[in-house]
A and B are shown apart, each in its own frame.
Chain A
Amino acid sequence: MAFSTPGSATVDAPAGRAPAGRRARSHYAIGLRRLARHRAALAGAAIVAVFLLGAVLAPELAAHDPTEAHLDFALRPPTGAFLLGTDSYGRDILSRLLFGGRISLTIGVIAVALSFCLGVPLGILAGFYGGTVDHIVMRTVDVWLAFPGLLLAIGIVAVLGPGLQNVMLAIGIAGVPGVARLVRGSVLSIREESYIEVGRAVGGSDAHIMRTHVLPNVLPPVIVLLTLRLGAAILTGVGLSFLGLGVQPPAPEWGAMVAEGRAYLQRAWWVSTIPGAAIFLSVMGFNLLGDGLRDALDPRLH
């Protein structure tokens, strides 16, 4: 679009509402630079990186097979051969943690991606067209939001049955209305901007305008929301697995590991508490990063 990249910085559009193209990218560049100076965000990014690396390199890093039982070594405290101890089947907790990160973190990422893919189009359609479309979408969102988050996910799992896929689906669906509502709000605030009008004037179709002008401008707050939601989605996922509704044993899922260790809490504290600490740390990492991203990308949300 020729009109969206005038290349001059004299137009005083507020940050985050710049049209797509070069200036929109520079908005992200500014954000990234701010992020690089944000110490808490850097700490968060470092924590997240460690966990992601651990998950990706699990086969290389793990000293033992995550599902292999060594009954002679059951409930060993953290020592040399088993750095973080063993569980009731004598399985190496560190190896299970590394492989478990693949499951627990993936659930969060896929669920949030699903909320994003459904929520963003819904929000854009509602905000862009207004009227009946908006009414239908927003009333649906109201109904959706009437179910307290975790209960909606539990209800969906109750219908679909437990398991990895259904948990991702349940958490993803439960997150849609929040995204749709945020996006709709942003679209409403940019709908009357002159670059949208220009896009229309030069004969751009609705779909084209939504894709090239609306979408890039509603993304910053959505990215912030999604990063912050990532931690919550991981927590919901491990929560469901802890309840026995998610990933089933013997898969090394963090929430399920905490649940398995409950019976030995007094005798072997490490079986439950170490996987729980891993959940806590990784979610803290995502939340630190999300807070930093919010400060850097979207000062309006602060």
Chain B
Amino acid sequence: MHRYLAQRLLQLVPVLLGVSILVFLMIHLVPGDPAQVLLQDYGSSEQIAAFRHALGLDRPLPVQYGTFVWRLLHGDLGRSIHSGRPVAAEIAARLPYTLRLAACAMAVAVALGVALGTLAALHHRRFVDYGSMVVALAGISLPSFWFGLVLILAFSYYLRWLPAAGADSAASIVLPGVTLGAEAASIIARLTRSSLLEILHQEYIRTARAKGAGAARTIFRHAFKNALIPVLSIAGLQFAGLLGGAVIIETVFGWPGVGRLAIDAIFNRDLPMVQGVVLVAAVIFVVVNLMVDLLYGLLDPRIRYS
């Protein structure tokens, strides 16, 4: 296990290196002179030249990249062009909101997904099964921003149960959380169903039933233990996907997370901020995937790491 952990951590190095190179290059891939892009086309040619020198943009690319990584390792993501504040500080202020939203969405996704998938598996090839799977397919086909607007229309404007926007009260997270979790719930439902179906046909389940265990007991005590392991791994992958989806959801619900920060940054042509958000999201994504992999091994003793 320790060797495996070391190996996996080692594998992260080239990935993170590649990520940092790509994010670094973003500013140089924008058509035009980077200094001019960063100054948003304002300033005289002398000002641009001075700016270029101050940021080190007149030095060779490898040197610039070296400086970039050196600063990254010290937690310095540069300064926002728009606000002038450190990018790292702005992201740190917004990240808790996005993580809270993603956690809420994940809870919705797992609860709904496992329930729907189990329901379908228990009624295999009957109406409930087909119905659940159509619902799950609909969940994957939903444009999240539209679903969010429909929920706002129903629960905020007509029923007046929940706030439509902002993050002021505890109830504010419900609508964005449900909207963001809908797609992941559908994917989890489909996987739970197929995973349970596979296991329900196995000998030890029949044995449990033969020994007089009821249907509910069989499912919850015996089948779930094994069936939910692949579900866990997909849930982990989905969590990372939620970080991407949050960009849209945060816009719909005016949620003050990093997704909204990224979109505002794009409109302000605030490239250091965009770079920062993309980098942080990628690092979280990679780390979460690693943790899911490791957890997978802890939960399933059949998997041996070598």
Contacts and interface: CB of A to CB of B under 8 A. Distances in A.
Interface residues of B, number: 46
Given A231-B140, A255-B143, A273-B149, A239 B248 contact: yes
A115 interface: no
B213 interface: no
Contacts of A160: 30-31
B233 interface: no
B149 A276 contact: yes
B282 A147 contact: yes
B220 interface: no
Interface in A270-287: 272-273, 275-277, 279-280, 283-284, 286-287
A154 B143 contact: no
A149 interface: yes
Interface in A258-297: 258-259, 262, 265-266, 269, 272-273, 275-277, 279-280, 283-284, 286-288, 291
B15 A150 contact: no
Interface string A142-165: 110011111100110111110000
B169 interface: no
B248 A243 contact: yes
B218 interface: no
A231 B153 contact: no
Contacts of A291: 137
A142 B146 CA distance: 32
A266 B158 CA distance: 9
B128 interface: no
B286 A258 contact: no
Q: Is the interface of B mostly helix, strand, loop or mixed?
A: helix
Interface string B138-170: 101111111101101100010000000000000
Interface of B: 14-16, 18-19, 22, 26, 29-31, 137-138, 140-147, 149-150, 152-153, 157, 240-241, 243-245, 247-248, 251, 262-263, 265-267, 271, 274, 277-278, 281-282, 285-286
A148 B243 contact: yes
Query: Which of B146, B153, B245, B265 has its CB near the most chain A CB atoms (within 10 A)?
Result: B146
B149 A151 contact: no
Given A147-B19, A148-B243, A242 B152 contact: no
B143 A151 contact: no
A243 B143 CA distance: 12
B146 A277 contact: yes
Contact of A284 (B30, B141, B266, B282): B141
Contacts of B286: 146
Given A139-B15, A245-B263, 18 more contacts: A143-B15, A147-B19, A147-B282, A148-B244, A150-B245, A154-B263, A159-B30, A235-B141, A239-B248, A242-B248, A243-B248, A244-B263, A273-B153, A279-B143, A280-B141, A283-B141, A283-B142, A287-B140
Given A142-B18, A148-B281, A159-B30, A280 B153 contact: no
Contacts of A283: 141-143
Given A146-B282, A148-B281, A151-B281, A258 B153 contact: no
Nearest to A276: B146
Contacts of A273: 146, 149-150, 153
Interface in A137-193: 139-140, 142-143, 146-151, 154-155, 157-161
Contact of B263 (A243, A266, A272, A280): A243
Given A159-B29, A243-B248, A258 B145 contact: yes
B209 to A, nearest CB: 26
Contact of B141 (A143, A150, A155, A231): A231
A238 interface: yes
A244 B267 contact: yes
A287 B245 CA distance: 19
A140 B18 CA distance: 8
A150 B244 contact: yes
B19 A258 contact: no
Interface in A107-144: 139-140, 142-143
Contacts of B31: 160-161
